[in-house]
Amino acid sequence: LPCRPASASLRRCAQQPLARQLLQRLQGGAAQGAALRGLGCVLEGSVATQRFAAQLAVGFLGDTKASMRQSAASVLNRLGDVELDVGASVWSTLGPALSDVDPKVSAAAAKVLTRMAPKHEAAVAVVRQLQHSSPQVRRASLQVLGQLQVKSKALVRRVIEMLLDNDWQVRAMAARTLPRLVERGQNVAAADALEAALEDLHPVVRQNAAGALAHVAANPSLPFVMKAQNAKLKRKAEVLRSTPRRAH
């Protein structure tokens, strides 16, 4: 027990020399990726050190080595929500990183945008990633758009299109995202698209669409009532068709 407070003090004392050694390793060598990940661990603690590690990791999102970009994404995900300073050099790095061939790097860059960019600028950058070839990037982009909660009809139209994506997880995320972008009863197109998604082949998409309709449709129960009535009429029509007609 007496070692516990002492260990925290030792860790703080060792933080600076360890950080200096790891920073030197980042200048070159075969262990740059490990050094960056280690730096993310060493600098956990105070807000200032976390911000420094995050800023450093953002810079490596544009590295030519895939291993360094992956290490940078790993550090950013580990540090979580850290406020970052916007700079021209950072913007030039994040642009290419959003389209990185590694979906983890692209997703990490998208999440960084939500913490350092004005909402509308971040939304414009993230929307471009909805055309990415990786379903994971498209899902992460939709999730980020939901976090930004930018109210825009053009953005809503783009998310509605994602309800027709060939990946069911992307469609499910699009259904979850729409309620964050519209007010209840204010967007008929979104409500109609979600109502159509109730017929999706995947049960998770149907479930998400049903939950989203409760927050988007002007009368949330109406689509379900109409669906039940249509099913009832369909069954009645089938019975009538199957019933032999009497000869006159």
Cα–Cα distance measured from residue 17 to residue 102, given in angstroms and rounded to the nearest whole number? 33
Q: Identify residue 123 by its one-letter amino acid code.
A: A
User: CA–CA distance from 80 to each of 99, 117, 174, 225, 241 (Å)?
Assistant: 21, 16, 23, 43, 61
Which pLDDT value is given to residue 89? 55
Cα–Cα distance measured from residue 217 to residue 188, given in angstroms and rounded to the nearest whole number? 7
Which pLDDT value is given to residue 12? 62
Task: Note the residue count of the chain.
Answer: 248
Picking from 113, 7, 102, the residue whose alpha carbon sits closest to that of residue 58 is 113
Picking from 106, 105, 114, 61, the residue whose alpha carbon sits closest to that of residue 86 is 114
Q: Tens-of-pLDDT digits for all 248 residues of the chain?
A: 343 444 556 556 666 666 666 666 666 666 777 777 776 666 666 677 777 777 777 777 778 887 778 777 777 777 666 666 655 555 666 767 777 778 778 777 777 777 666 788 788 888 888 988 888 888 888 988 998 888 889 999 999 999 999 999 999 999 999 999 998 878 889 999 998 999 999 999 999 998 898 888 877 655 554 555 555 556 666 666 676 665 55
pTM: 0.65
Picking from 110, 120, 113, the residue whose alpha carbon sits closest to that of residue 152 is 120
Which pLDDT value is given to residue 237? 62
Give residue 29's region: left, alpha or beta (phi > 0; psi -120 to 50): left
